[in-house]
Amino acid sequence: MSEELTSTLLRKLATLTQALGAADFAHAIGGGIALAFHANPRFTNDIDINIAVDPTQIDELIAALPAQIVVTPENVDALRRDKQVRLRWPNDGQEVVQGTPIDIFLPAHPTFHSRLDERAEPVSLGGLTFRIVSATDLTILKALFDRSKDWVDIEDMLRHGSVDVDEVLSWLRALLGEADTRIARLRTLADTVAET
């Protein structure tokens, strides 16, 4: 990660987490930023944030976001419908499409997200203290997304020994059903990592 990108991303992270904290929205950072604390850091240029918010508070949430984040009516509709949305935070002089991606995730599975919020861990980076999603919950989220890069990240976290595999499997069974292929894939991956 370049020093300029790191400082820009950190500044935006600070502004975003402070704004949400001031509005009393519980939140935890996920994605590549959280991964950097649970495994080998990898390049990231976005901010993934899980926000514990009631669906009736979406308008208040949008109002609490830093004014520099571009939010369209279509974004708000997507957030209400899908419980997630990608927003953009342009740097000075940038087009919106070039801005930093801000991926917002709301509680699609309230019981799981309540547990995610309880297990969020405080960390410090560049003088900023914020909460990140635990390695166990990040593994659950990445298994739900089921992209190739997510499985690479899961393996990395498993190798660092920071994941409660039984807890992950329990949540995946509850959220997906026992027959889902991601459960067997995680079990196999965890066994392979344990043998090496």
User: What SS3 state is found at 172?
Assistant: helix
128-132 β-sheet, strand order: 84-89, 100-105, 47-52, 26-29, 128-132, 121-125
Is there a single domain that holds both residue 127 and residue 146? Answer: no
9, two tokens: 């991303």
The 10s digit of each residue's pLDDT in 57-85 is: 999 999 999 999 999 999 999 999 999 99
Q: What is the mean pLDDT of residues 25-32?
A: 96
Q: Smallest Cα–Cα separation from 156: which of 120, 190, 116, 119?
A: 190
Question: Phi and psi at residue 95, in whole multiples of 5°?
Answer: -70, 155
Is there a single domain that holds both residue 64 and residue 142? Answer: no
pLDDT for the residue 34? 96
**Count of domains for the chain:** 2
* Boundary-marking domain end, from 133, 149, 178: 133
The 10s digit of each residue's pLDDT in 111-123 is: 999 999 999 999 9
* Boundary-marking domain end, from 133, 153, 183: 133
Is there a single domain that holds both residue 95 and residue 158? Answer: no
- For 139, the domain range is 134-196
Is there a single domain that holds both residue 180 and residue 157? Answer: yes
Is there a single domain that holds both residue 186 and residue 116? Answer: no
Is there a single domain that holds both residue 84 and residue 33? Answer: yes
User: What SS3 state is found at 99?
Assistant: coil
Cross-strand bridge partners of residue 129: 124
Is there a single domain that holds both residue 104 and residue 92? Answer: yes
Is there a single domain that holds both residue 60 and residue 122? Answer: yes
* Boundary-marking domain end, from 115, 133, 151: 133
> Which of the four pLDDT bands, split at 50, 70 and 90, describes residue 146?
very high
Is there a single domain that holds both residue 114 and residue 188? Answer: no
C-alpha angle 78/12/133, rounded to 5°?
A: 70
Please check the confidence at residue 14 and state whether its pLDDT lies above 60.
Answer: yes
Q: Smallest Cα–Cα separation from 134: which of 104, 160, 98, 99?
A: 160
Is there a single domain that holds both residue 164 and residue 74? Answer: no
Is there a single domain that holds both residue 157 and residue 92? Answer: no
Q: What is the CATH number of the domain that holds 64?
A: 3.30.460
Q: Smallest Cα–Cα separation from 28: which of 119, 164, 128?
A: 119
Is there a single domain that holds both residue 33 and residue 82? Answer: yes
